[in-house]
Chain A
Amino acid sequence: MSLSIEQLRAQARDAFARHGVPTRRLEHWKYTDVKRALAPLADNLLELPSDPMPVDALGDELSIAGLDAWRIVIADGVVLSLPDDPPQGVHVASLAGQLHAQPEQGVAALHFDEQAPLFNGLVALNAALAGDGIVIRLEDGVRLDKPLYLLHLSRGKAVHIRHRIQLGRHAEATVIEHYAGMDAGLSNVISRLHLAEGARLHHVRVQQEAVGRTHIGRVEAELERHSQFVSHSVALGASLSRVDIVAELRGPGADCRLDGLYLTNGRQHADHHTVIAHRAPHCRSREMYRGVLDGRSRAVFNGRVVVHEGAVKTDSAQSNANLLLSGRAEVDTKPELEIYNDDVKCAHGATIGQLDENQLFYLKSRGLAHEEARQLLTFAFADEVLTGIAVPALRRHIEHAAFSKLPHGEDIEGMLAGHDGTGEMA
């Protein structure tokens, strides 16, 4: 009954032919004109990526500095190398290798479901074309000793990547997906995550693609009982980015935290759509997304929380706050709560605003100059989202990238020097 890879690819092509690239007529693409962004690629969308790019020293140059991790470089959608000797109980393979050696596993990784939340034509396109990615499985009780760091360097016009991460019972891992595309084009990446009972996964996306590039990401997480999923999605680069995160809380006691940060300027456009589906009792979800928008940039946040009938004692809280540094920046934010039982605790809120005058005055009354006070508050606002990132080199990297995007950010970074983020002075 299981599909062959050829059958799956054919079905995916067929689904893409039917759905096409999303247009603004679709409810969830109302504010994000990906069709226009991809217009230059329209005729090549079904073409497979050409030869992989030469990477050479680029991998080291663009890597997160000082990060002690299992690093895997993925160049133009091709996995260049795998860890030589991963720890006992950790199985890492490339999707390309798996499609060859264990096609049924490859088919499972490429699985797509037209009924899934936020499904769209680009998901089908990914299933039709993704030739590579990382497939990692942790056996029960295995704790990955250091983060798995997936560095994506893309120059190809259209790059489709599929990752699959499976954590066995009580397994633990941190996975960092870092996107550093260098030219115009499309990155279309789907990560399918599965957390067995009691597993803990921290999944971090750092999107720093070049301006001119379109970044489409999708994260599908399935949480079994008492598993814990923490997701950070940081959108800094690309001209247009759209990240969909779908968390299915399937087992009682599952715990999910979705945090995100988008910093946009110029004419950048950053869109996050998240869905948290509470399907079991006693689950908890927390969500905090923040954005800082400058120039004529635009951001979209849509956070849907669905509490299904049997999911009693659900505890869910969601917030989205946006800071507009420019009068021409725009944000569309929409929390959506769907609750099908009475025994739940749900809170959500969205704000769009400027810096708080009382806070500004307080800082100035202590001697901070006006600009300094503004920068500090802006940075602090963004940095709140990063407090859950326990890998210091990763947090520093994101903070540095954030500083370089904020107006006069370098000044504040200098002022904060010797300050390690935990509040201790060096």
Chain B
Amino acid sequence: MLKIENLHVRVDGKAILKGINLHVRAGEVHAIMGPNGSGKSTLSNVIAGRDGYEVSEGSIRFKGKDLLGMAPEERAWEGVFLAFQYPVEIPGVNNTYLLKAGVNARRRHLGLPELDAMDFMQRVKEKAKLVELDPSFLSRGVNEGFSGGEKKRNEIFQMAVLEPELALLDETDSGLDIDALRVVAGGVNRLRSPERAIVMVTHYQRLLDYIQPDIVHVLVDGRILKSGDKALALELEARGYDWVREEAGA
């Protein structure tokens, strides 16, 4: 589903990603772990299409299509979703309205009829319940005045409503207390399906107690130095990242 080959990315002339290779198949859950500043958010942002990153080498293909040639909204229509590490507040833009516009833009792109207001509201209410989002948040401005944890919860709620094929979760676990983490993880787990892929980016293994990854990658200094199964995450938790660096001779 997602094929990243030899991806090199620069920001302001500085090399941040230095040859990333990542293959994610439908149905899989991948975890990308790495210390702060290793390039995890850069990778997520480049996949979602944020400006300001220079791809100097390599390719990203999604369902066989060249993702790098697409505008961010086209990527969303194709089924890419990024849950932001730092969701921005957008006062005055209604949360539910945004989702309705997003869902219907994608449906138009896919040649499907738009959802009518009733069907849409039903979907919204159902998904809000799923992540235990207070219904009052639906009618507020996007993330406006939300606490850190509420913003993260809102990201997962949006993901549930938009039903992406590829979900990128950038540090969705940070800023969540243990109850919220459980709820958010529950939301993510319910989204797992053979047609969907999930890539979780985190620097704690905490989240992986709740969402079991199929594959764990270690991202250090812009390179994936090691990949393995769930046991790798536990090892990272116990031993830190330095041994991976040494082992890779980096």
Partner-B contacts on A (CB < 8 A): 356-359, 361-370, 372-373, 376-377, 379-381, 383-384, 415-416, 418-419, 422-426
A361 to B82, CA, bound (A): 11
A361 to B51, CA, bound (A): 8
Q: How many A-B residue pairs have CB under 8 A?
A: 95
Binds A, one of B35-43, B97-105, B179-187, B217-225: B97-105
B11 within 8 A of A: no
Contacts of A370 in B (CB 8 A): 71, 73
Known A367-B162, A373-B73; 18 more pairs at CB < 8 Å: A356-B88, A358-B88, A361-B50, A362-B84, A364-B72, A364-B73, A365-B49, A367-B102, A368-B98, A369-B73, A379-B92, A380-B141, A416-B97, A422-B139, A423-B94, A423-B139, A425-B96, A425-B121
Given A357-B51, A423-B96, A425-B121, CB of A377 within 8 Å of CB of B101: no
Contact A425 B92 (CB under 8 A): no
Q: List 20 A-B contacts (CB under 8 A).
A: A356-B88, A359-B88, A362-B87, A362-B90, A363-B93, A364-B76, A365-B48, A365-B75, A365-B82, A366-B76, A366-B99, A367-B162, A368-B98, A376-B101, A380-B93, A383-B92, A384-B92, A423-B96, A425-B117, A426-B117
CB distance from A303 to the nearest CB of B (A): 21
CB distance from A304 to the nearest CB of B (A): 27
Contact B117 A372 (CB under 8 A): no
If over half of B's interface residues share one DSSP class (helix, strand or loop), that class is named, otherwise mixed; here it is helix
CB distance from A292 to the nearest CB of B (A): 13
Q: How many interface residues does chain B have, given as a range?
A: 35 or more
Contact residues, B121-145 vs A (CB, 8 A): 121, 138-142
Contacts of A383 in B (CB 8 A): 92
A381 to B102, CA, bound (A): 20
B205 within 8 A of A: no
Nearest residue (CB) in A for B104 is A367
Given A361-B50, A384-B92, A423-B139, CB of A366 within 8 Å of CB of B162: yes
Contact A368 B139 (CB under 8 A): no
CB distance from A410 to the nearest CB of B (A): 15
Partner-A contacts on B (CB < 8 A): 48-51, 71-73, 75-77, 81-82, 84, 87-88, 90-103, 105-106, 117, 120-121, 138-142, 158, 162
Given A415-B101, A425-B117, A425-B121, CB of A365 within 8 Å of CB of B72: yes
Contacts of B48 in A (CB 8 A): 365
Contact B90 A372 (CB under 8 A): no
Contacts of A381 in B (CB 8 A): 92
A364 to B88, CA, bound (A): 13
Contact A367 B90 (CB under 8 A): no
Contacts of B99 in A (CB 8 A): 366
CB distance from A351 to the nearest CB of B (A): 14
Given A415-B101, A422-B139, A423-B139, CB of A368 within 8 Å of CB of B73: yes
Contacts of A418 in B (CB 8 A): 117
CB distance from B90 to the nearest CB of A (A): 5
CB distance from B128 to the nearest CB of A (A): 14
Contact B84 A367 (CB under 8 A): no
A412 to B106, CA, bound (A): 17
A372 to B49, CA, bound (A): 17
Contact B96 A368 (CB under 8 A): no
Contact A425 B97 (CB under 8 A): yes
Residue picked from A377, A380, A381, A426, most chain B C-beta under 10 Å? A380
**Shortest Cβ-Cβ A-B pairs, 3 listed:** A380-B92, A423-B139, A367-B102
A412 to B219, CA, bound (A): 42
> Which of these, B76, B97, B117, contacts A365 with CB under 8 Å?
B76
